[in-house]
Structure 1
Amino acid sequence: MELLWANEGATAKELALLAADRTGWNKNTTYTVIKKLVAKGAIERSEPNFVCRSLITREEVGRDEARKVLRSFFGGSVKMLFSSFMADGTLSAEETDELRKLIDEHGRKKR
């Protein structure tokens, strides 16, 4: 998807060439990935020349992946996720303050 987002509207052939340069994939591998992404509704491929366009944003993918990590490693608990970051010192004081502000804003919106 990163390749497509950076080259929105590229043809499947162009994406295959870019993927070969970037990852060493042969064109059939790229075409298979494109076909699977079309089937999942992540991209559309249109004629002529099999022009590819993304149907999902990087932000949507990020949210979906974050939810998967949350479920897989933290039992769906946001509290456990943040506790793990605080326990090992990953969060800076600035990030902690920013998170407090986000949580406060979210709380006000929920009321």
Structure 2
Amino acid sequence: MQKLYDSEIKVMEIIWENEPISAKQISLIAAEQIGWNKNTTYTVIKKLESKGYIKREEPGFICTSLISREDVCRAETQSLIDKFFGGSKKALFSALLQDEKLSSEDLDELRRMIEER
């Protein structure tokens, strides 16, 4: 999976929340939520299409995702783990637990999640 930049993730979020959605509707939402102009939004849409993450169909340049939010989240998480923790999920969890005050309910839920794997 190719890296998604922050601008691309913002457009993907709009698509995931509203698909199928026209490129024009995406640009209107991006203008309202992010403050982008139409050209910026259309440029990002074209990049996402060229990467194979969305498809755009006539009439109306209707956009739909070809990749799920979950797939992007997994890939981005793995990239973070690789970049900052040498690929070690254990090191990531250790770092998270050092800074986080977890309730006993949170700890029980984490234990349950680990046991179910």
Q: TM-score if structure 1 supplies the norm length?
A: 0.86
Cα distance change, pair 89–49 in 1 and its aligned pair in 2 (3 A) = closer
Does 2:50 align with 1:50?
A: no
1:103 partner letter? I
Which consecutive unaligned segments of at least 5 residues does structure 2 have?
A: 1-11
1:6/1:39 Cα in 2 relative to 1: closer, same or farther (>3 Å)? same
Which deviations, in whole Å up to 9, do the C-alpha atoms of 1:14-66 show, x marking residues without a partner? 11111111111111111110011011111110011110001111111111111
Q: Which has the higher contact order (CA 8 A, sep 6+)?
A: 2
Please report the TM-score for the alignment, with normalisation by the length of structure 2. 0.82
Secondary structure in 2 matching 1:76: coil
Q: Which has the larger radius of gyration?
A: 1
2:90 to 65, 69, 79: 79
Are the counterparts in 2 of residues 85 and 91 from structure 1 also a CA contact under 8 Å?
no
2:14 aligned partner: 3
Q: Does 1:63 align with 2:74?
A: yes
Equivalent residue, structure 1, for 2:51: 40
**Letter of the aligned partner of 2:77 in structure 1?**
A
Aligned pairs, number = 106
Measured after TM superposition, the shift of residue 90 of structure 1 is: 4.2
- Using the alignment, how far apart are the partners of 2:98 and 2:70 within structure 1? 27
Separation in 2 of the partners of 1:88 and 1:21?
35
Deviations 1:54-84, CA, capped at 9 Å, x for gaps: 1111111111111111111111101101111
Q: Which residue of 2 aligns with 1:97?
A: 108
- Secondary structure at the aligned position of 1:24 is classed as coil
Q: Which moved more, 1:96-105 or 1:64-73?
A: 96-105
* Counterpart-to-counterpart distance in 1, 2:81 and 2:59: 41
